[in-house]
C-alpha cells in the first residue's frame, strides 16, 4: 500500500516536471525552435487549432523558423495568429510558406523572460508540494484506518519528503538550464 501511494505521487511529480519543461520550451530564446510557435492557435475553418496540427514547422537555420501549412489557404491565418501572439515575432509569407526570423533579444527582454521562467518554476514547485501534501494525506488516512502503523506512516512520510526534494531539485535544474539559454547571447 505504501509503495503504491509513493509510486502514484512520484508519477504525478514526474508529469509536473515534464509539464514545466514543455512550458519553458515555449519561452523564446536567441535560437529558433519549433516549440516557440507550435502551441499558437490558428483559425482553421472557424476552429482554433494548434499550429503543429495544421502545418509542419522546421528550422532551416539557427535563427529562422519555416512553417509550411498543409492547407495553403490558411497561410494568412497562420501569419495573423503569430502576429497576435505575445512572442514579438514578425512572420513573412509568400503564400506557400511562412518564414519567421528570430531577432536577437535585448537585455531588457532577457530580464523579462527570466522573470517568466522563475514564475513558471515557482508554480512547478508549488504543484510538487501540493502532490506531496496529497500523498501524505493518503498516508495519514491509511494510518487512521489502521492500515498502517505510526512507524510506517512516519517512514513513508520521510520517503515522500525525499522524493519531493529530488523532484524540486530537478525542477530547479530545468529552470537554471532555461535561464542560461535565455541569457546566452
Rg (CA), the chain: 22
pLDDT of residue 162: 95
Alpha carbons 50 and 85: distance in angstroms, whole number: 12
Alpha carbons 4 and 152: distance in angstroms, whole number: 14
In our burial notation (b when 16+ CB lie closer than 10 A, e otherwise), range 146-178 reads eebeeeebeebbebbeebbeebbebbeebbeeb
Query: What's the CATH superfamily of 2-25+106-183?
Result: Ribosome-recycling factor (1.10.132.20)
Q: How far is CA 11 from each of CA 7, 20, 30, 137, 162, rounded to the nearest angstrom?
A: 6, 14, 33, 17, 14
136-159 residue pLDDT tens: 999 999 999 988 899 999 999 999
What is the third-level CATH fold of 34-101?
A: Gyrase A; domain 2 (3.30.1360)
pLDDT of residue 131: 95
pLDDT of residue 126: 95
pLDDT of residue 94: 85
From first to last of the 185 residues of the chain, give the pLDDT tens digit. 889 989 999 999 999 999 998 888 877 676 778 888 888 899 888 899 998 889 999 988 888 889 999 888 888 888 888 888 877 778 888 888 889 888 777 888 788 888 888 999 999 999 999 999 999 999 999 999 988 899 999 999 999 999 999 999 999 999 999 888 888 76
Domain spans in the chain, listed from the N-terminal domain onward: 2-25+106-183, 34-101
Give me 87's grid cell: 512572442
pTM, 2 dp = 0.71
Cell 472557424 found at:
46
Amino acid at each position: 500500500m505504501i509503495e503504491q501511494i509513493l509510486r502514484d505521487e512520484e508519477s504525478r511529480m514526474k508529469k509536473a516536471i515534464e509539464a514545466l519543461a514543455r512550458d519553458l520550451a515555449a519561452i523564446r530564446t536567441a535560437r529558433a525552435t519549433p516549440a516557440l510557435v507550435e502551441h499558437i492557435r490558428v483559425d482553421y475553418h472557424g476552429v482554433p487549432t494548434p499550429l503543429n496540427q495544421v502545418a509542419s514547422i522546421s528550422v532551416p537555420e539557427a535563427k529562422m523558423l519555416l512553417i509550411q501549412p498543409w492547407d495553403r489557404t490558411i497561410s494568412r491565418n497562420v501569419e495573423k495568429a503569430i502576429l497576435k501572439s505575445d512572442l514579438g515575432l514578425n512572420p513573412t509569407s509568400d503564400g506557400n510558406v511562412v518564414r519567421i526570423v528570430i531577432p536577437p533579444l535585448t537585455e531588457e527582454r532577457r530580464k523579462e523572460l527570466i522573470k517568466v521562467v522563475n514564475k513558471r518554476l515557482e508554480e512547478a514547485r508549488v504543484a510538487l508540494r501540493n502532490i506531496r501534501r496529497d500523498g501524505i494525506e493518503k498516508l495519514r488516512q491509511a494510518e487512521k484506518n489502521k492500515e498502517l502503523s505510526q512507524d510506517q506512516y512516519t517512514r513513508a512520510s520521510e520517503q515522500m519528503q525525499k522524493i519531493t526534494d529530488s523532484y524540486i531539485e530537478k525542477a530547479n535544474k530545468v529552470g537554471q538550464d532555461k535561464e542560461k539559454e535565455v541569457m546566452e547571447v
